[in-house]
Amino acid sequence: MLAPLLHVDSSADREASASRQLGTLFADEWRRSGGTVRHRDVSAEPVPPLREAYARLGRRVERKGALSLDDIAALIADDDEQREWDLTRPLVNEVREARAVLLGVPMYNFGVPATLKAWIDRISFPGVFADPATGRKLLADKDFVIVNARGGGYGPGTPRETFEFQESYLRAYLGDKGVERLTFVSQEFTRVGDVPALDGLGDLAAASREAARSRVVELARAIR
């Protein structure tokens, strides 16, 4: 049996979201191959933003160097720090235990949703994705698949290329965390039919949708 897939959705639109549709397609194919899926919807169940006690505990941990999760817990000094760690550790464990991670990411105001950023901030506790004995980055052996949805076109050479802070941000962040197997699948022009400025681009929208759907099925079958 395949190890678990962690599927994180972040779109606020639960009915017509392109990123949710692509993510569901991937997850369904993963299950058909015998894998299990852990689904976390950070829009429906938002991750609480960081509080001062998170930063306080994080600084204490950084001074000690690389620590195990149990060693981090042993450094907790008060109830506020315990609360922050109790909110953080389960999310970190989900990532560490997953064979692969699938992120469904719509573009909001040229970047990622605040709900996804809150999840990212919380799992980014110092040292939790490094082996305390060797320093090895624990995310290096996991596949990360990012399904992006964008209302318009933001690819290389387009007029809005410089407005793209969605894929570029996630590529930089995940690379810094040690992710080596990272794949992006983008569906563009998802707002055709809604935004008058995109009138006449229906063929591009349809082609992008079909290409993205084919790619996510291919990836779900390929990753083992």
Residue with tokens 């829009």: 43
Tokens representing 188 are 């563009």
Q: Is 173 annotated as a binding residue?
A: no
The CB density around residue 201, as the number of other CB atoms within 10 Å, is: 18
Using DSSP, state whether 32 is helix, strand or coil: helix
146 is written with which tokens? 């990012």
Residue 207 known to bind ligand: no
Task: Pick the closest to residue 216 from 178, 194, 185 (CA basis).
Answer: 185
Which residue do the tokens 């949703």 mark? Answer: 113
The answer on whether 148 is annotated among ligand-binding residues is no
Query: 168: annotated binding-site residue?
Result: no
Is 1 marked as a binding-site residue?
A: no
The encoded tokens of residue 150 equal 């964008």
End-to-end CA distance of the chain: 10
Cα separation, 177 vs 151, whole angstroms: 28
37: nearest Cα among 100, 86, 91, 93: 100
Residue 108 labeled ligand binder: yes
**What are the start-end ranges of the E strands in 10-158?**
37-41, 100-106, 143-149
Residue 33 assigned ligand-binding role: no
Q: Which residues are annotated as a binding site for FMN?
A: 11, 17-19, 107-110
Question: Annotated binding site, which residues?
Answer: 11, 17-19, 107-110
